Amino acid sequence: MSDEIEKVMEILKRAAVSRPKRNVWKPVAVISTTALVFLLAFAIWSNLPKVPPEGEVADQVTRILAGSGPSYSCGYLHGANVKLTSRGIASGNIDVTCFFMPYRASKRLDEIKMYCTAKLKQLYEELPWLKECSFTIKCPYHSRPGGPIEWRQEVSFKFDRSLYEKIDWGKFFYADILKVAEDVEF
């Protein structure tokens, strides 16, 4: 009987020597870690603000510009053109042209700037994907009495999210927007 036990033990030893030792946990750990990394990346990506299609961007911006809130007391916003100039996965840039129709012949640029600043602030509050906004303010001119209206640029400037976040809006005088904006052109 002991010979048989010894033979069985010898067979088991040879089998253990000839079979390579495998650590099954290493591949399982690598696969699990990779799956967790992809799951985490997807969760982060899905929570990023998404830039909507260009038509929807124009609708959102126009709604904000024409919506309630601060008003332009020396005239009214005649219209606005909105263009999505750059689009990433989670951020985008827009170009906004506002057409202001003043009630009087003299345009009150300070009031227009204050109105635009309030609306610019509202754009950054309501559109988390907005990175940079180029603003152009145009007012009408008549080249000759009774002639067609020409829209001429009063001022244009650029504004980005980093500037928006640096400003203490509670203490900021809205007519000073051109002092902090970039690429100001009259």
Tens-place pLDDT, residues 130-174: 888 888 888 887 777 777 778 888 888 898 889 999 999 888 888
* CA-to-CA dists, residue 53 to 57, 65, 93, 106, 158, angstroms: 6, 18, 12, 38, 22
Q: What is the pLDDT of residue 25?
A: 67
Phi first, then psi: what are they for 150, rounded to 5°? -110, 135
Q: Determine the Cα–Cα distance for residues 108 and 114; give it in Å rounded to an integer.
A: 10
CB 51 within 8 A of CB 87: yes
pLDDT of the residue at 70: 55
What pLDDT is recorded for position 78? 73
The parts of the chain modelled with pLDDT lower than 70 are 1, 8, 12, 15-25, 28, 41-50, 68-75, 87, 89-90, 103-107
**Could you tell me whether strands 149-160 and 92-102 are parallel, antiparallel, or unpaired per DSSP bridges?**
unpaired
Q: What is the pLDDT of residue 94?
A: 78
pTM value is: 0.64
Q: Are 175 and 113 in contact (CB under 8 A)?
A: yes
Nearest to 186 by CA among 143, 140, 137: 137
